[in-house]
Chains A and B, each alone.
Chain A
Amino acid sequence: MDAIFSFLQQHLEAVYIVILSIFLGVEVISRVPSVLHTPLMSGANAIHGVVIIGAIIVMGEAEADNYLALVLGFLAVILGTINVVGGFVVTDRMLEMFKSKKTK
């Protein structure tokens, strides 16, 4: 219990962010035409690629002789970047098609 309390105190801002973000996420998505489900999922997929920032921090803080951290961190940076870049590009490709038919 103590652990939870002191954690809450230390991370009060973060806890607020989490709670508000939950409601925001629900609010933002609530009315989407089913046509957009796939691109939206893909876009959200790209956004959770922010995890790359954690990977960069891990990589950038790894000591030069800690090979496990170096290798895993390196792998994490690669995978995270694939998630971000691939995610946004795929979403853009999907949406490009929507646009081309709209201008018709």
Chain B
Amino acid sequence: MLPLIYLIGSVTFIIGLKMLSNPATARKGNAIAAGGMTLAILGTIFLYRHHGQGLHNYGWIMAGLLIGGVVGLVSARRVKMTAMPEMVSLFNGMGGACAALISIVEFEYMTAVIFTGAPVRMQLVIILAGMVIGAVSFAGSVIAWGKLNGRIKDISFKGQHIFNLVILAVILLLAVVVTAALPAVTVILFVVILLLSLLYGICFVLPIGGADMPVVISLLNSFTGVAAACGGFLYNNPVMLTGGILVGSAGTILTILMCKAMNRSLKNVLIGSFGSPKAAGGSREQGAYKEITLSDTAVIMAYARKVMIVPGYGLAVAQAQHACHELETLLEARGVEVKYAIHPVAGRMPGHMNVLLAEADVPYEKLLEMEQANGQFNTTDVVLVLGANDVVNPAAKTDPASPIYGMPILDVENARSVIVNKRSMKPGYAGIENDLFFQPKTSMLFGDAKQVLQQLVAEIVNSL
């Protein structure tokens, strides 16, 4: 019975993942995979037999499932749409930690009974692999979570990559030593490997700049998949194998696709730490920027023929999507054509803006993808940039020294005028200056995106 359940589980994962890659079927795919997962979990609890023996400790298992289920459900329901990426990263970290814990317990069993023979050696290798990968994924995900919500700043120092490589080399070396030492089991070395893996996870993510965080999370996601597959080997469990490896390989491809969307190579992302001081895009003279008042902005927008809104992370942070939709409907009612230009990596994750704006009921047809939008800027009167920065930075096209050079951007400078709403002149997430702000066409409108939008709406309603 159980093999059949596992087979069904594996098939639902494949179908689910396939359906998830198409907008029309995605939600159903997610539900199918969730159903298969439930089946596999229930099947394991009640039908699992090892040497003819079933599981015990049902009280503990149920309590764990209950606590985890409630915590997972509540945090997933409560999390704001803007904080989704962090949440995904944190959930991923939990999975990694789970894999690492399994390995630790299995290792502890090995210390209790002295085994000999070749199969045990391979088993130890798998236990070690599961622990190292799981721990790296856990520590890395927690750091990524902290960085996305601003709790942890970018830290990089000279020779960091070499330092990281050394840690990795030491981990591998110790793993070989531990494996070779069989049948003697060296607990201390095992603990050292665990600690070093956690350290590596931290050091691996710390120097990587914010703009690249989605790529890193996706990569850590596939790591956890591989760690889960290690568990599959350990228990000869086909559903863990398929699920884990599927995510491992699909996650790797997804990571590469994301890099492509930003026109960067994975190596570049991992080594060319964004936001390091030397990559600040040169300190050329910046000239002056000009500010615009709220009422002027209101007038310009209300009497424009076509307005293009470029949303960015600032909009997400300020939770301004509803205010933004309000402004859009108001302008449309006055006969202004309003569109949204969505850069593939606007916000912190691909698709982040689409999700946010959809939440505020912005119609699907109003969201233009980058290529469409770029074809329309020259017929646009006003571009309103809401808390976006790097995705409209012309340095990506003009300055080969810039860390974002080569990334496709929204060509907002082709529009008649550009109004940029930001909280301050601080550089964006990639930590580089933006020449756009100093161009004669551009005016700056400082303030929190939500407040500014609400004031704009009030201004248009009351005085125009």
Chain A residues packing against B (C-beta within 8 Å): 2-4, 6-7, 10-11, 13-14, 17-18, 21-26, 28-62, 64, 66, 68-70, 72-102, 104
Contacts and interface: CB of A to CB of B under 8 A. Distances in A.
Contact of B21 (A40, A42, A53, A64): A40
B26 interface: yes
Q: Which of A28, A69, A97 has the most CB of B within 10 A?
A: A28
Nearest to A99: B27
A24 B355 contact: no
Interface in B211-267: 214, 217-218, 221-222, 224-225, 227-229, 231-254, 257-258, 261
B173 interface: no
A14 B56 CA distance: 27
Given A37-B349, A56-B61, A86-B72, A10 B119 contact: yes
A54 B108 contact: no
Q: Chain A interface secondary structure, helix, strand, loop or mixed? A: helix
B31 interface: yes
B282 interface: no
Contacts of A96: 27
Contacts of A83: 72, 91-92, 94-95, 98
Contact of A94 (B60, B61, B84, B218): B84
B172 interface: no
Interface of B: 9, 13-14, 16-18, 20-24, 26-27, 29-31, 33-34, 37, 40-41, 44-45, 48, 50, 54-58, 60-61, 63-65, 67-69, 71-73, 75-77, 79, 81, 84-85, 87-88, 91-92, 94-95, 97-99, 101-102, 104-106, 108-109, 118-119, 121-122, 214, 217-218, 221-222, 224-225, 227-229, 231-254, 257-258, 261, 344-345, 349-352, 354-355, 358-359, 361-364
Sorted nearest first, the 10 A-B pairs with minimum C-beta distance are A81-B68, A60-B55, A77-B64, A25-B249, A85-B72, A86-B72, A54-B231, A37-B350, A50-B243, A89-B76
Nearest to A62: B57
Nearest to A5: B118
Contacts of A62: 57, 105
Nearest to A18: B245
A37 B261 contact: yes
